[in-house]
Amino acid sequence: MSRRTSAMPSTSSTNSGVRPAGDGGQEKQKMLLSSETGHFSLVRALHLADLVTELNVMSVLSSMRYCLGDPHEYGAIWIALGLMPLGLFFDFMDGRIARWRNKSSLMGQELDSLADLISFGMSPAAVAFAIGIRTPLDHLLLAFFVLCGLTRLARFNVTAAVLPKDKTGKSKYFEGTPIPTTLSIASLMAYWVSNGWILEDLPLGVVAQGTIFEFHPIVLLFVLHGCLMVSKTLHIPKP
C-alpha cells in the first residue's frame, strides 16, 4: 500500500497569498477539478501516478472476471490468481512515479485507497467464493474480511499524518497488517488449486453441514487476517 503525500504549505505562505513552491501540482489539480467548464477537466487533472493506480484496478478486475468461469477449469482460476500480483506491482509503482516526478496528488491519495480495497480486499474474497467457500455463513465471514480492509484503509487515511515519523518524514510503522498482505492468502489458495483442493475437496471440509451454521473452517483465515488488519496494538515496522 503506497501512500502519496506532500508537505503542507506553511501558514506564512498561505497568508501572503503566494503559491508555495514544490506543491507537486496540487493547486493546478484543484483548479481543474473545481472547473465548471470542460467535459474532460477530470481526465486532465489526473497525474501519471494516478493513471498507474487505476491500472491496479483494471488488472484486478480482469482477475475477478475469471472467477465467473467453470471452477473445474483450472486455467481460468490460474489466470485470476496470476493477475492479482499485478495489483501489488502497480500499487508499488504509483508511489515511485509520484516521487520521481515530484507530483503529489490529493485525488491520487484517495484513488490509492479505493484501488487497494478492490485489489486486496474484494479480489481475494471473490476467488475464495469461486473455489467453493460460498455457504451463507462463509459469505458473511468473507464480507467481514472485506469490511476490515475498508476500515483499515479509512483509518490509514486519517492517521497517516499523525503517526511517528523518521528523519525522512516517513511513518515508522503500520498500524495493523497492510492490506496488500492479503496476497499471502491468495498464494495459499493457489497452492490448494495446484493440488485440486477446491469445492468439495477444500481443506478441513465443512462444519455443521446441512444447518444454517454450515461453513468451511478455512474461511477463518480470512477472519483472522481481517482482525490483524484493524488491530491498533500491532505495529509493523516499515521497510
Q: What is the pLDDT of residues 82-112, one digit of tens each?
A: 878 887 887 777 667 766 666 656 666 777 7
Could you say which DSSP state residue 197 is in? Answer: -
- pLDDT value for 19: 42
Count, residues in the chain: 239
pLDDT at 130 over 60: yes
C-alpha closest to that of 179 among 161, 156, 210: 156
CA count, 13 A, side-chain hemisphere, 148: 25
User: Which residue carries 505562505 as its cell?
Assistant: 13
Average pLDDT, the chain: 75
pTM of the full predicted structure? 0.72
What is the H or E stretch that residue 237 is in? strand 235-237
What is the H or E stretch that residue 192 is in? helix 183-194
- Is residue 238 helix, strand or coil? coil
- pLDDT value for 74: 77
Q: With cut-offs at 50, 70 and 90, classify the pLDDT of residue 7.
A: very low
| 166 vs 76, more confident | 76
